Structure 1
Amino acid sequence: MTLPALFIAHGSPTLALESSDYTQFLNELGDKLPAPKAIVVFTAHWDCPEPSVTMDESHQTLHDFYGYASALYNIHYPAAGQTDVASEICALFSRSNLPHRSVQGRGLDHGVWVPLLHMYPEANIPVIAVSVDSLRSPQEQYDIGRMLEQLRHDNVLIIGSGGTVHNLRMLAQDDEPQDWAVEFDDWLGERLEQWNTRELFLYEKKAPHARTAVPSYGMEHLAPLFYAMGTADMSRTAKRLFQSYACGTLSLNCWQFGDGI
């Protein structure tokens, strides 16, 4: 079975405790998708130069944030790992001569478990986390995703978890979307739907408000979009599934790449 790839905005860690239109969308998204045999997540909260893959039979839940309500630290997402799929990822990287490493004992950061908590609350599907490298070009990130495209045709769900607009210094007091954030997302959306990689890969120079939407200290949150997009290179179809904003600028955009839903 072939599954689409997804880009999912994981928002703030407090999303794990929220009930909103967005969390309802994530709940329904998990129900709509055929049950995958495993989930592979390119997570913005694992940013390192060498592509890294979790190679574990089980995971601890990382609470990699501070200053939130105690209830958030009591949440655990006990998803199993899947070493067979992790090994296949490593083999695909090796086939493309991409240096990489397998990692044991890292756990699942909140970029992984927060959205999955809503999509698959029973934590009954194995999960493999894969790092991103925010210093690589969008073209390189896309190409790394493309190396894993065949996994989608073997009932593996691939997710890029991050955020298209993620500038914590620009959060507003309410959820009314700020014009500049919407303009950036709309520019991005038009080119995603056209699969216009030429302009997408140059978003820093071409997109309106690019430096504000994707600041130099937050590039890792956009990177998962290109990794996920690359895994649908053969079909080259993109569809926005959801769009809203928290605190005016924190983008909760979700995209589907490839056919499936």
Structure 2
Amino acid sequence: MKLPAFFIAHGSPLLVLEDNDYTRFLQRLGSDLGKPRGIVIFSAHWDSPEQLITVDAQHETQHDFYGFPEEMYQLNYPAPGDPALSSRISELFKDHNLPHQPVLSRGLDHGAWVILSKMFPQADIPVVALSVDSLRSPEEQYSIGRMLAPLRDEGILLIGSGGLVHNLRLLKQKDQPEQWALDFDGWIAERLEAWDLPSLYAYEKQAPHVREAVPTYGKEHFIPLFYVMGAADEGRQAQLMIQAYQYGTLSLNCWMLD
């Protein structure tokens, strides 16, 4: 069965401890998807000018954050890797002449394991993590995702983990969203549903409040969207599954791309 691709916001690392509408949605989504043969995830927290691929047989858990409750640093998500799947990805990249490198012993960063721990708490599905490159053009990012489209027919779930509105310098002590965040998410939603690639590629010039929503120091959280859109290029259907906010300016959304 061909699996959809997803863009999933990972929010704050505290999401892993929370019980709210968004975390319950992630739990239902994982249950509805069943047990994919494997998961390939582009994480905003692995930004590299080279395309990198984990090749571990077993992942460690990165606690790549600071200032959080001590219990956060005791949490583990011991998902296996899949060297064969890593090799399959390498073959697809080679077929399209994309330079790439294997990486051992990196572990899964919180952009990956926080959402996966909600969706697949048993940590028994193999995971291969891929880096993103915030300096590439949206067209290039989309093209890389399109290289991986065949995996969707092979029982592999493709996820881009990030945040469409993600500016940690503008967080508020409330969950009611700021109007500018709503305006930006609304603009993205209209163009995603129309699969308006020219406008989306030009989001930095066209989207309202783009500097607040996607600050220059935080583009890596937005760009996983383009990678997973590329993986869904054949169907070009986008459906918003949930939209929520934390701290006024932290967008929690999930887009299904098929």
TM-score, normalised relative to structure 2: 0.99
Equivalent residue number for residue 153 of structure 1: 153
Q: How does 1:82-97 map to 2 (within 5 A)?
A: 82-97=82-97
Which ranges of structure 2 fall in alignment gaps of 5 or more residues? none
Offset at 1:34?
3.3
Q: How does 1:202-213 map to 2 (within 5 A)?
A: 202-213=202-213
Offset at 1:211?
1.1
Equivalent residue number for residue 115 of structure 2: 115
Which ranges of structure 1 fall in alignment gaps of 5 or more residues? none
Q: Give the secondary-structure state (helix, strand or coil) at the position aligned to 1:108.
A: coil
Equivalent residue number for residue 7 of structure 1: 7
Q: Deviations over 1:119-164 (max 9, x none)?
A: 0000010000000001111111001000000000111000000000
- 1:250 matched to 2:241? The reply is no
- 1:55 matched to 2:55? The reply is yes
Aligned length: 258
Query: Quick one: distance in 2 between partners of 1:56 and 1:170?
Result: 37
Query: Quick one: distance in 2 between partners of 1:67 and 1:34?
Result: 35
Query: What is the RMSD computed on CA atoms of the aligned residues?
Result: 0.5
Equivalent residue number for residue 39 of structure 1: 39
Equivalent residue number for residue 233 of structure 2: 233
Residue 222 of structure 2 aligns with an amino acid whose one-letter code is L
TM-score, normalised relative to structure 1: 0.98
Equivalent residue number for residue 165 of structure 2: 165
Q: Deviations over 1:38-75 (max 9, x none)?
A: 00000000000011000010010000001100010010
Residue 66 of structure 1 aligns with an amino acid whose one-letter code is Y
Q: Deviations over 1:87-142 (max 9, x none)?
A: 11111011100000010110000000000000000001000000000111111100
Q: Give the secondary-structure state (helix, strand or coil) at the position aligned to 1:98.
A: coil
Query: Quick one: distance in 2 between partners of 1:226 and 1:253?
Result: 15
Offset at 1:16?
0.8
Residue 142 of structure 1 aligns with an amino acid whose one-letter code is Y
- 1:178 matched to 2:182? The reply is no
Moved over 4 A (4+): none
Query: Quick one: distance in 1 between partners of 2:223 and 2:53?
Result: 16
Equivalent residue number for residue 101 of structure 1: 101
Query: Quick one: distance in 1 between partners of 2:103 and 2:190?
Result: 37
Query: Quick one: distance in 2 between partners of 1:51 and 1:221?
Result: 16
Query: Quick one: distance in 2 between partners of 1:95 and 1:211?
Result: 37
